[in-house]
Structure 1
Amino acid sequence: MAEFRYKAFVSYSWSDAKWGKWLLHAIETYRTPGALIGKDGQLGPVPARLHPLFKDREEEAAGASIGQAVEHALENSEFLIVICSPRSAQSKWVNRELAWFKTHRDPAKILALIVDGTPGSGDEHECFPAALTHRVAPDMRVTDEPVDAPLAADARISGDGKRRARLKLAAAMLGVGLDELVNRDDRRRTVRTRLMVGASLALATVMSGLAWAAVVARDEADRQRAESDGLVEFMLTDLREKLEPVGRLDALDVVGQRALKYYAGQQAGSLDADSLGRRSRALHLVGEVSNIRGDSAAGLGAFRQAAATTGELLARDPGNPQRIFDHAQSVYWVGYTAYERGEPKEAEAQFREYKRLADRLVAIDPGNTDWQLEVSYADSNLGTLLLGQGRYGEAEQSFANAQRIAEAIAAKDPADLTKQIDMAQAISWTAFALERQEKIEPALALYGREHAIYVAVLAKDPGNTTARSGTGTALIGIGRLETMRGNGAKALSAMQKAVDGSIALRSAEPGNTLWTQYEVKRRYELGIAALLFGRIDLARQQLSAARPLLGGLIAKDPTNDIWNLDLAAQLDELEVRLLAGSGRHGEAIIRADHAIALLGQRKDSTDPMMRAVYASVLLVRGDMHLRAGQRALAREDWRSVDRLTAGADADLPSSLLTLRYAAARRQGNAAAAAPIRQVLDRRGWRHPAYLRELRQVY
């Protein structure tokens, strides 16, 4: 019989993580009835325990490839248990894991646990993944041919319930009959109950004798606990404030983990409000460090635990402003991490709850500047979501409100550098919303103002990493706007300074994935601008430097859509253009295919910036197909550009209109191209990509 490292691999959607945690504990702690151990079952000798189980992506090292890690674990697992819900039915990871197990292992060893939804409904309530109920081809493609679903346990109250579902799965993995386990488990529960009653009576007698000794020891224990609580408070406040500005991730991580270890042995219900507050702050610190290091799954888990803790505190004292504030912070971080992971629905729900809590704070104490700042932050978060949906006017209003609040607060205390940075960041978002609406001059003025604020902060605090990174944000924005105006020298100079600043930040703190992400993005923007202004070597340098940096990010967190989809597709776009420009048409098509596959996986198809990347790649691939004599394929790519840039001309950003204009000209559709050109000319659009298109002859 084959030996397996894992008894089972548990496959589930991240949205069902609580069920995954329950199942892992339920199966790994299950003890086979003694009378059955060693007997011959359907699968051989019946084992005493069903462990270990593979904990999906959580168990592998952060640097491992998701494909290699999962496939290695599947190969070394005797069973596959899939947690079935409408979320897992739609999960590409769950379907991929099922497909791999079906094609490489015994499909009879697949077990299902229903936790939500309706089996076989075929609609949005369907809980069975397609790979579970359909034949999988040898190439791991899920076909349309239905097959019988495997054994399913239903953990819901309306189904088997948790206890019987656990026994169903255990019976299948042990190779014994379900009735045999149920009967033995009933007898074991009866015996255990009798023992507990007897033990409780004996314990009561002993405890009465120990009570007096406990009273004497209690005072000393309280004194020691007070000292420990004071040390934890120092670690989470004063010590953190000293370590955070200088980027000491290692020390910050130790602080958070030590604090959590201190509270790990204490039940949350037994903790007083102060202790719960410290526990939530420790979880926040662990979550933030996890995010920075690229482990967004661990970060989201920590923030959700923190939100549960602060929610408990708020429920105990619902009118307390500090409790409202603390819970608002937890809610924000859950939303932010979900946003980074490409989960816009959860992000929006959490950001709107954050805004509601911030408004409550201001309603309680309108003159409190801290509460006003929370409203400012909340408006900025909502503005970011609106930007991603292309609702630029609404985003500008949200950002302008946030900026107004931040400016008023900063004006009252010009010596407070944190308030100055808050103001600069609020200005930056307003500038970006104006940039998206192509209001070039006011956007330039705001970016310049933002940059000046950061320079002033750095003159007083040269080691402030937030201000150092902020200068890059302002400079890259200035570079994009100067590109729109056709000022190549100014655009490339500003962007190069932004890249240089990112290199310095990453070099000083290599483990900070945020600095690496910024550098990759800024190198992409510099590379695209360099191409537009004929600096081909500079563009190649940016691509060569950005590729390995992005590869490192993706290896750390294969669930982060910004890294795995958006940035990866943007670097592909830059490479496609470089390959096409150097005459390597076949390689350009292959790289374009890769970019298009990535962009097709994005959950949010409304973001105009990424639609422009998508359309740009399709446009170039069409050109390459035409050069290869494949006219039908070329025309299909250009029609796809039309579909991606659909909408009324007056409502679309000029970047998308330029691509639609280019596609219309390539298809020989002068009637469609002429009105687009009129709109762009009326706007005064002088982006180099548009001017180059005007010079092309087809």
Structure 2
Amino acid sequence: MQYSAFISYSHKDEKSARWLMRKLEAYRVPAKIIGQPSEFGIVPRRIGKIFRDRDELPTAGNLSRTVNRALQNSAALIVVCSPASAKSKWVNSEIAEFRKMGREDRILCFIVSGNPLSTDPDTACFPPALLKPDVSGEPEHEPLAADARADGDGKDRAFLKLVAGLLGVGFDSLAQRDAQRRNKRLALISVGSFTGMAFATALAITAVIARNDAQRRQDQAEDIVGFMLGDLRERLQTVGRLDLMRSVDDKATSYFSKLNKRDLSDRALAEQARSLTGIGEVRLNEGDYQLAMAAFREAYERSKALYERDTSNAKRLFDLSQAEYWLGNVAWQQGRLDDAETWLSHYRDSAIRLAAMDTSNLDWQIEAAYGYQNLAILDKSRGKFEKAEIAMGEVRDLYITWSEQNPKDLNLRYEAANAASWLGSLAMQQGNLRQAKIYFLEQHAAIKKNLEDDPDNTIWREDYLYANILLANVKIQLGETQSANRLFLEATNIAEALYLQDPENAYWMLDYGRCLWYLALITPSNAEKHLKQAENLIGKAFSLKQREGRTLHFYGDLKIAQSEYALLNNQLDLATNYMQQFEQSIVPAWQDLDMEKTEDFRLVYSRGLILKGKLASFASQPDTAQSLWKQALGVLMEDESDNLPFIRLYELTKVLNLLGEEQQRKVHQQRLDESGFIAFNAFSFD
């Protein structure tokens, strides 16, 4: 066999799977049992190579050739058991495939969480294929399992049980030999330690003197770094100077890299965590998810270490909560919504503990509101609109109360406006367009007042840009086109100024490109020019943030608009070329199993299928067109009952019309009409 074992696991248990693979491959078999006969042959010196990484599995549900071949060439199958793996269809498929090969006696289980005796889907840890009997009606299989949970065998004992199963030797014999080897090793270490102690004592006296001097110099350096990462960074962020912030980050990183972490004081460790958080924010704005995630994870580890040193320290709990938030934020932007929910739930729980430490501290109460607000927005992304609306309404009421108590606090006014904005988006996605307009007007007025009170604040200018776009969008759907156009023109001017202020800010280039895209729709005479400018900006932002939902949404819409405009001008080849660009970028993201699909992304993908069908129709390929429209219909109807999300209805009526399903189209058109919805499509062929 090429591999001693194949580790099957859910991506949520990747950390445990990695640990297990490294531990198995590094394990040295005790000398006294090497070469002895076992159930599976002669006991080797090493366990051998383990297969863990696997190719991305296809959507059809079959195992890829690489994984199938690895299973065939693996002497055993190790299943990392948890509630996540019990629900994983890929883990279940790998077990079923291995059993088909007639080697079910070589399947070993390693329990990391859940309950092996439970039948509750939320706590059961054994995948169904493990338990399935060979013949229907017979009792379920009883898997051979090593229980790594704290209330089970424990991690080390469970590992040895797994090794015994792989080698085909008795556990007691292996455990005894392993303990003897450890005892010998400890004896050798003890002798070395006593020798080292004498030498270390002599050095300690000299080291204390040097350390006191170094501590004095370190304190001076920390004062400088504290200013760089505190007041200076805040001022640079307010004026939108990300270029100078990067320089500050580089200087701070250079300083910290020269420190020995073992010598860091609590203060130095806190400064380092703060620096890494700042670096992560800048890298995130630049679209570098990998560096951003690495910086936030390091900040989290330092913040966690500090908090564990003193769990009564509220400031340390606050820093820990911020690190948890940023880890959730990056996962969210990458489309890993399960990971995002995990970290954002940690953040909410930390914020609740923080608020409970001092109920008179308004900042900490607001932090708890942030925790609930983030999870409500995540529910919105997943199409759970009613649940999100209830939570966001409660958050808005809190902000309004706090803002009325502190009328000069611009941040509180902003938070109340932001909650109103999210309620507006939720109302739109449920078809309550007139209510959405009320919420967006509330947001627009509040942010405008902030900008009037603090006109040089870049943050308020950026928020006013979004307020204009959101209000314009709902007005378009209500047929108030002229008013919407004025709002978009004002938004474009703001977006252009922000982009020119920092051309490397991926969000600002995306916003400016989006505004230019809309200008192409409302000014047909300059459509080609505006679309080209939008392509340059959105294309660059897309290259930086390819996995972010908003970027995918805007990039996909742009390619559709370009294709529609080319088709409107009888440029079929150019229209087809733009659709090919759409397919190369948007389709792989839609088919990515690790990326959860938001409602906005679903709409973009379905629009692409509808337009591709129209192109096929123009090319006299009616069968292809019908097939694509049916596929679009399936995407729009997926995972839902009769009460489809409102935002799907317009695309749904279009595709039903193309398919000639007039009866069904009228049902959904009625909901659109009742909401006051009016379609706006400058490049439409309907």
Tell me if both proteins adopt one fold, taking TM over 0.5 as the criterion. yes
* C-alpha distance in structure 2 between counterparts of 1:327 and 1:634, whole Å: 53
Does 1:640 pair with 2:627?
Answer: no
Given that residues 117 and 125 in structure 1 are in contact (C-alpha distance below 8 angstroms), is that contact kept between their aligned partners in structure 2?
no
2:618 paired residue number: 627
Residue type at the aligned position of 1:576: S
Given that residues 444 and 471 in structure 2 are in contact (C-alpha distance below 8 angstroms), is that contact kept between their aligned partners in structure 1?
no
Residue type at the aligned position of 2:336: E
1:349 paired residue number: 342
1:681 deviation in Å? 2.7
Given that residues 425 and 450 in structure 1 are in contact (C-alpha distance below 8 angstroms), is that contact kept between their aligned partners in structure 2?
yes
2:389 paired residue number: 396
Change (3 A) 1:205 1:666: closer
Matching of residues 183-222 of structure 1 within 5 Å: 204-222=197-215
1:611 paired residue number: 602
Residue type at the aligned position of 1:547: E
Q: 2:668 aligns with which of 660, 676, 679?
A: 676
Change (3 A) 1:512 1:217: same
Does 1:292 pair with 2:258?
Answer: no
Matching of residues 166-565 of structure 1 within 5 Å: 204-264=197-257, 266=259, 268=261, 271-527=264-520, 530=521, 535-556=523-544, 560=548, 562-563=550-551, 565=552
* C-alpha distance in structure 2 between counterparts of 1:271 and 1:129, whole Å: 49
Given that residues 498 and 522 in structure 1 are in contact (C-alpha distance below 8 angstroms), is that contact kept between their aligned partners in structure 2?
yes
1:82 deviation in Å? 8.6
1:272 deviation in Å? 3.9
SS of match in other structure, 1:462: coil
Q: Aligned residue pairs: how many?
A: 596
Residue type at the aligned position of 2:578: R
1:343 deviation in Å? 1.0
Residue type at the aligned position of 1:643: G
Change (3 A) 1:342 1:264: same
Change (3 A) 1:607 1:218: closer
1:208 deviation in Å? 3.6
Matching of residues 41-60 of structure 1 within 5 Å: none
Residue type at the aligned position of 1:334: L
* C-alpha distance in structure 1 between counterparts of 2:632 and 2:280, whole Å: 40
* C-alpha distance in structure 2 between counterparts of 1:542 and 1:691, whole Å: 14
Given that residues 89 and 126 in structure 1 are in contact (C-alpha distance below 8 angstroms), is that contact kept between their aligned partners in structure 2?
no
Residue type at the aligned position of 2:621: Q
In terms of mean alpha carbon deviation, does 320-329 or 499-508 score higher? 320-329
Residue type at the aligned position of 1:251: L
* C-alpha distance in structure 1 between counterparts of 2:387 and 2:524, whole Å: 38
Residue type at the aligned position of 2:530: Q
* C-alpha distance in structure 2 between counterparts of 1:589 and 1:21, whole Å: 45
Given that residues 313 and 323 in structure 1 are in contact (C-alpha distance below 8 angstroms), is that contact kept between their aligned partners in structure 2?
yes
Residue type at the aligned position of 2:572: H
2:106 paired residue number: none
In terms of mean alpha carbon deviation, does 469-478 or 308-317 score higher? 308-317
Deviations 1:591-614 (A, max 9, x none): 335254554447556533222222
* C-alpha distance in structure 2 between counterparts of 1:660 and 1:552, whole Å: 31
1:590 deviation in Å? 4.6
* C-alpha distance in structure 1 between counterparts of 2:263 and 2:93, whole Å: 41
1:432 deviation in Å? 1.9
Given that residues 524 and 542 in structure 1 are in contact (C-alpha distance below 8 angstroms), is that contact kept between their aligned partners in structure 2?
yes
Given that residues 257 and 282 in structure 1 are in contact (C-alpha distance below 8 angstroms), is that contact kept between their aligned partners in structure 2?
no
Given that residues 335 and 346 in structure 1 are in contact (C-alpha distance below 8 angstroms), is that contact kept between their aligned partners in structure 2?
yes
* C-alpha distance in structure 1 between counterparts of 2:274 and 2:298, whole Å: 11
SS of match in other structure, 1:635: helix
1:472 deviation in Å? 1.0
Percent identical: 25
Deviations 1:213-240 (A, max 9, x none): 4444444333333223322322222222
* C-alpha distance in structure 2 between counterparts of 1:159 and 1:577, whole Å: 61
SS of match in other structure, 1:90: coil
In terms of mean alpha carbon deviation, does 565-574 or 507-516 score higher? 565-574
Using the size of structure 2 for normalisation, the TM-score is: 0.71
1:575 paired residue number: 562
1:8 paired residue number: none
Change (3 A) 1:590 1:116: farther
1:282 deviation in Å? 1.3
* C-alpha distance in structure 1 between counterparts of 2:217 and 2:261, whole Å: 19
Which runs of 5 or more structure 2 residues have no equivalent in the other structure? 1-9, 24-49, 59-63, 102-154, 164-181
Deviations 1:648-677 (A, max 9, x none): 786234442222222222222333233333
* C-alpha distance in structure 2 between counterparts of 1:367 and 1:374, whole Å: 13
Change (3 A) 1:212 1:600: closer
Residue type at the aligned position of 1:305: E
Residue type at the aligned position of 1:410: S
Change (3 A) 1:246 1:547: same
1:363 deviation in Å? 2.8
Residue type at the aligned position of 2:632: V
Residue type at the aligned position of 1:632: D
Change (3 A) 1:688 1:210: closer
C-alpha RMSD over aligned residues: 5.2
Given that residues 390 and 606 in structure 1 are in contact (C-alpha distance below 8 angstroms), is that contact kept between their aligned partners in structure 2?
no
* C-alpha distance in structure 1 between counterparts of 2:191 and 2:641, whole Å: 81
Does 1:667 pair with 2:667?
Answer: no
Given that residues 424 and 437 in structure 2 are in contact (C-alpha distance below 8 angstroms), is that contact kept between their aligned partners in structure 1?
yes
Deviations 1:390-417 (A, max 9, x none): 2222222222222222223333333333
* C-alpha distance in structure 2 between counterparts of 1:469 and 1:346, whole Å: 28
Change (3 A) 1:405 1:200: same
Change (3 A) 1:352 1:258: same
Given that residues 568 and 683 in structure 2 are in contact (C-alpha distance below 8 angstroms), is that contact kept between their aligned partners in structure 1?
no
Given that residues 386 and 392 in structure 1 are in contact (C-alpha distance below 8 angstroms), is that contact kept between their aligned partners in structure 2?
yes
1:326 deviation in Å? 1.6
Using the size of structure 1 for normalisation, the TM-score is: 0.70
1:270 deviation in Å? 5.2
Change (3 A) 1:639 1:211: closer
1:43 paired residue number: none
In terms of mean alpha carbon deviation, does 583-592 or 360-369 score higher? 583-592
SS of match in other structure, 1:463: coil
Change (3 A) 1:523 1:399: farther
Given that residues 296 and 326 in structure 2 are in contact (C-alpha distance below 8 angstroms), is that contact kept between their aligned partners in structure 1?
yes
* C-alpha distance in structure 2 between counterparts of 1:364 and 1:506, whole Å: 42
Given that residues 246 and 464 in structure 1 are in contact (C-alpha distance below 8 angstroms), is that contact kept between their aligned partners in structure 2?
yes
Does 1:591 pair with 2:578?
Answer: yes
